[in-house]
Homo-oligomer: A and B are copies of this chain.
């Protein structure tokens, strides 16, 4: 689940992609990019990104972060994912889909490989003509930890 840990294609600063749209790679933008790159497995909300930015560049305004996240998403460099409950998260755009499993109990976000969906998109397309998004899917449910905790109350010690 950490196969893409070390820098490759997408980790290079995204100057090119930005400049295509007449955009500039400002220090603030670079910082946001860097923050997302540094935590590939965390799903950061806009607010959390803003907080991270603020730690390192206190003078940067939250609105700048919001604006830049929008820009990066618009240019396809960053992916905005809705995890439900009005929680939108941001992460670097990947080549291939990885899907999100949001635990309804503890809020944790697991990942699944695209494989598990097998031919579901095809079946959906066949039955209703809907083309499931090229990107990410979010499922809700109960993660292993919470399921275990519910099954064996004693295991609660590691939870809240």
A residues sitting closer than 8 Å to B (CB atoms) are 82, 84-86, 88, 101, 103-104, 110-113, 116-118, 120, 123-124, 127-144, 147
Contact = CB atoms under 8 A, between A and B. Distances in A.
A130 B110 contact: yes
Contacts of A82: 82, 84-86, 140
25 contacts: A82-B82, A82-B84, A82-B85, A101-B128, A101-B132, A103-B130, A110-B128, A110-B130, A111-B128, A112-B128, A113-B127, A116-B123, A116-B124, A116-B127, A117-B120, A118-B120, A129-B147, A130-B142, A132-B139, A132-B141, A133-B141, A134-B141, A135-B140, A137-B139, A138-B138
A102 to B, nearest CB: 9
The binding surface of chain A is classed by DSSP as mixed
A140 B132 CA distance: 6
Which has the most chain B C-beta neighbours within 10 Å: A101, A104, A135, A140? A140
Given A118-B123, A130-B142, 4 more contacts: A110-B130, A129-B147, A130-B143, A133-B139
A124 B112 CA distance: 7
Contacts of A136: 140
B127 A112 contact: yes
A57 B29 CA distance: 49
A30 to B, nearest CB: 27
Contact of A139 (B110, B124, B143): B124
Contacts of A144: 128-131
